[in-house]
């Protein structure tokens, strides 16, 4: 069962956790090793990028293409 990831938004990535508590924080690019996701991706050439919230440490993974 392949997990699906949202496509990276064109604008800034906002932390959903902090938004819920009324304080939208822009997430920063993270260097999480996401190569294993590309290997499992149903389409070849898919790349992933992780983002981390500098405030609450929430990590989100997006499809870059
Ligand atoms: Zn946050």
What is the whole-number distance in angstroms between the Cα of residue 50 and the centre of ligand 1? 14
d(CA 6, CA 43): 14
Confidence (pLDDT) at 2: 62
Which protein residues have a CB closer than 5 Å to ligand 1 (ion)?
Answer: 15, 17-18, 25, 53, 55-56, 58
Residue 47 domain-assigned?
Answer: yes
59 located within any domain:
yes
State the total domains in the chain: 1
How confident is the model at residue 21, as a pLDDT?
95
Name which residue leads in pLDDT, 12 or 3. 12
| Helices marked H in 1-65 | 16-20, 35-40
Give the residue numbers spanning the domain of 52.
Answer: 16-63
Per-residue model confidence as pLDDT tens digits over 39-61 = 888 888 899 999 999 999 999 99
pLDDT digits (tens, 9 = 90+) for 9-39: 999 999 999 999 999 999 999 999 999 898 8
Residue 3: pLDDT above 80? no
Structural domain contains residue 1: no
Looking at the domain assignment, is residue 25 inside a domain? yes
């Amino acid at each position: 069962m392949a997990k699906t990831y949202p496509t990276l938004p064109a604008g800034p990535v906002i932390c959903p956790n902090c938004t819920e508590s009324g304080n939208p924080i822009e997430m920063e690019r993270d260097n999480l090793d996401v190569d294993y996701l590309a290997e499992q991706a149903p389409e070849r050439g898919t790349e992933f990028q992780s983002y981390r919230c500098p405030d609450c440490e929430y990590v989100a993974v997006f499809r870059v293409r």
